[in-house]
C-alpha cells in the first residue's frame, strides 16, 4: 500500500504547472550566467534531507553551489531568540533571496528587511502572522508556501480516537512561543471536546524538558497525544518517538519523518514537496519576478501514514476503515 511516490510526483507536477514553470524544471535548463546569493534561515539545528531537496531542485534549474550560487545558511537550533540576529546577518551578507523554514523564521526575516525577497518554504498562518496581506496578492516582499496546520489537528484527534476508542485525555506537545502552534491547540481542543475528550497543553520549548513533559503527560492521565510540527521537534524525532514508546503513549504527528523513525501515525502535508516548490519560487524571483505578485500557495494533498509495528507494540487494533484511508502503511 505504498502510494507515497505517486503522491509526491503528482504534487510536484501540479505545483510546477501552477507557477507556469513546469518546463523550467529540467536538468538541461539554461544555466544562469551571474552569481546568485541565497540566504536560508531555519529554526532547525542543521542540514536535513528536506533542505537538500531545495538545493537539488535549484541545481536542476541551473543554480549550482561553487559555480553560480552561494548559499548562506543560518540555523537557530530551536532557539527562537537567535532568529533576529541570524536574519540581520543574512541581510548584511546582501543575499538576493531569503528562504525561511517555520513561521518564526519568516517573521524574523520580514522584520529584518523590507527590501530582500523572502520565500517561505514552510509557514503556518501567513496572514494571521502578518507575513502577507493576502494569499492571492501578498503585497510585500514575502511569498511562498503556507500550510494551514490548524484544520489538520482535528483530523489527527479523530484518528487517535479510532485507534483508542476509550481515550478521554489528549496532550499537545508544543512550544507556547510559536503562535501557529497555539492556534493548532485551539482547533485540537474544540475537536477533542466534540468527542468528549479533554485537551491539555504540554509546553516543551527545549529538549532539556522533553523527559519531564512526557512524565507530566503520563502522570496526568493523557491517553493519547499530538506533537507539533516545528523543525526542532523533527530534528529530535528519535528522542520523541523513543519517549512515546517508553511511556506507551499513542501519538499522532504532523510529519511523516516521525513515522519513519518508528512513530505511530502522521497526517499532514508533504514537507519535502514544499521545499521542492520553494525552489521554483526562488527561480522566479532570481529571474526578476516581484514577490508581491506571486500568490502564496497552499498544499492541496495530505497524506496519512501508519506504522503497523508501532500499532502492535502499543497493543492497539487498527480499524479496517482507518487502514483503508492510509496513503502508506509501514509494516
Task: List pLDDT tens digits, range 168-182.
Answer: 999 999 998 887 788
Are residue 96 and residue 199 in the same domain, yes or no? no
Q: Please check whether residue 60 lies inside any domain of the structure.
A: yes
Q: Please check whether residue 262 lies inside any domain of the structure.
A: yes
**What is the pLDDT, as a whole number, of residue 231?**
85
Q: Which residues of 112-134 are buried (b: 16+ CB within 10 A; e: fewer)?
A: bbeebbbbbbbbbbbeebebbee
**What is the pLDDT, as a whole number, of residue 215?**
93
Write down the mean pLDDT value for the chain.
89
**What is the pLDDT, as a whole number, of residue 131?**
93
Are residue 132 and residue 186 in the same domain, yes or no? no
Residue 203's pLDDT band, with cuts at 50, 70 and 90, is very high
| pLDDT single digits (tens) 85-134 | 999 999 999 999 999 999 999 999 999 999 999 999 998 888 888 899 99
**What is the pLDDT, as a whole number, of residue 111?**
97
**What is the pLDDT, as a whole number, of residue 32?**
54
Are residue 77 and residue 225 in the same domain, yes or no? no
Q: How far is CA 166 from the centre of its chain?
A: 30
| pLDDT single digits (tens) 140-168 | 999 999 976 556 888 999 999 999 999 99
| pLDDT single digits (tens) 290-327 | 999 999 998 877 899 999 999 999 999 999 999 999 99
Q: What percentage of residues in the chain have a pLDDT greater than 90?
A: 72
Q: Give the CA distances from residue 285 to residues 55, 105, 230, 234, in Å, rounded to whole numbers and listed in that order.
A: 16, 19, 27, 29
**What is the pLDDT, as a whole number, of residue 300?**
74
Residue 7's pLDDT band, with cuts at 50, 70 and 90, is very low
Are residue 126 and residue 153 in the same domain, yes or no? no
At residue 283, does pLDDT exceed 60?
yes
CATH number of the domain enclosing 155: 3.40.50.2300
Q: Which residues of 197-231 are buried (b: 16+ CB within 10 A; e: fewer)?
A: bebbbbebbebeebeebbebbeeeebbbbbbbbbb
Kindly give the pairing relationship between strand 265-268 and strand 303-307.
antiparallel
Q: Give me the number of domains the chain comprises.
A: 2
Are residue 73 and residue 11 in the same domain, yes or no? yes
Q: What percentage of residues in the chain have a pLDDT greater than 70?
A: 89
Are residue 140 and residue 155 in the same domain, yes or no? no
Q: For residue 245, with 0-12 CB atoms within 10 Å meaning exposed, 13-18 middle and 19 or more buried, which class applies?
A: middle
Range(s) of the domain holding residue 259:
149-268+303-330
Q: Please check whether residue 231 lies inside any domain of the structure.
A: yes
Task: Kindly state the average pLDDT of the residues 70-79.
Answer: 95
**What is the pLDDT, as a whole number, of residue 147?**
78
Are residue 24 and residue 123 in the same domain, yes or no? yes
Provide the H-helix boundaries in the chain: 4-18, 49-60, 83-92, 103-112, 149-163, 179-194, 210-219, 231-235, 237-246, 256-260, 271-286, 308-313, 320-325
Residue 193 CB: number of other CB atoms within 10 A?
A: 12
Are residue 37 and residue 90 in the same domain, yes or no? yes
**Residues 245, 263: Cα–Cα separation, whole Å:** 8
Are residue 100 and residue 229 in the same domain, yes or no? no
Task: Kindly state the average pLDDT of the residues 200-218.
Answer: 93
List, in sequence order, every residue forming a beta bridge with 85; answer none if it has no partner.
Answer: none
Q: Give the CA distances from residue 194 to residues 28, 77, 162, 249, 301, in Å, rounded to whole numbers and listed in that order.
A: 54, 37, 14, 22, 25
At residue 31, does pLDDT exceed 90?
no
**What is the pLDDT, as a whole number, of residue 22?**
44
Q: Please check whether residue 298 lies inside any domain of the structure.
A: no
Amino acid at each position: 500500500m505504498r502510494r507515497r511516490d505517486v503522491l509526491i510526483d503528482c504534487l510536484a507536477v501540479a505545483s510546477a504547472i501552477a507557477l507556469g514553470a513546469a518546463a523550467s524544471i529540467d536538468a538541461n535548463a539554461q544555466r544562469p550566467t551571474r552569481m546568485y546569493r541565497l540566504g536560508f534561515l531555519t529554526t532547525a539545528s542543521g542540514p536535513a534531507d528536506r533542505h537538500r531537496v531545495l538545493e537539488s531542485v535549484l541545481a536542476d534549474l541551473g543554480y549550482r553551489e561553487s559555480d553560480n550560487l552561494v548559499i548562506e545558511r543560518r540555523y537557530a537550533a530551536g532557539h527562537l531568540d537567535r532568529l533576529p540576529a541570524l536574519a540581520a546577518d543574512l541581510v548584511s551578507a546582501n543575499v538576493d533571496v531569503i528562504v525561511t523554514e517555520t513561521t518564526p523564521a519568516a517573521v524574523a526575516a520580514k522584520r529584518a528587511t523590507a527590501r530582500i525577497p523572502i520565500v517561505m518554504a514552510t509557514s503556518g498562518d501567513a496572514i494571521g502572522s502578518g507575513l502577507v496581506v493576502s494569499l492571492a496578492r501578498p503585497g510585500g516582499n514575502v511569498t511562498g508556501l503556507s500550510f494551514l496546520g490548524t484544520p489538520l489537528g482535528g483530523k489527527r484527534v479523530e484518528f487517535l480516537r479510532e485507534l483508542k476508542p476509550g481515550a478521554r485525555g489528549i496532550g499537545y506537545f508544543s512550544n507556547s512561543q510559536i503562535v501557529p502552534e497555539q492556534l493548532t491547540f485551539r482547533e485540537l481542543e474544540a475537536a477533542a471536546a466534540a468527542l468528549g475528550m479533554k485537551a491539555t497543553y504540554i509546553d516543551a520549548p527545549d529538549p532539556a524538558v522533553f523527559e519531564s513533559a512526557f512524565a507530566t503527560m503520563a502522570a496526568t492521565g493523557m491517553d493519547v497525544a499530538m506533537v507539533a510540527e516545528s523543525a526542532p521537534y523533527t530534528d529530535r524525532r528519535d528522542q520523541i518517538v523513543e519517549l512515546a514508546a517508553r511511556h506507551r503513549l499513542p501519538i499522532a504527528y504532523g510529519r511523516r519523518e516521525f513515522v519513519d523513525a518508528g512513530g505511530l501515525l502522521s497526517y499532514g502535508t508533504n514537507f519535502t514537496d514544499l521545499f521542492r516548490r520553494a525552489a521554483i519560487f526562488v527561480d522566479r524571483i532570481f529571474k526578476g519576478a516581484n514577490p508581491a505578485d506571486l500568490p502564496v500557495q497552499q498544499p492541496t494533498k495530505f497524506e496519512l501514514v501508519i506504522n503497523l509495528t508501532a500499532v502492535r507494540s502499543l497493543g492497539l487494533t487498527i480499524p479496517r476503515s482507518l487502514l483503508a484511508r492510509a496513503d502508506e502503511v509501514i509494516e
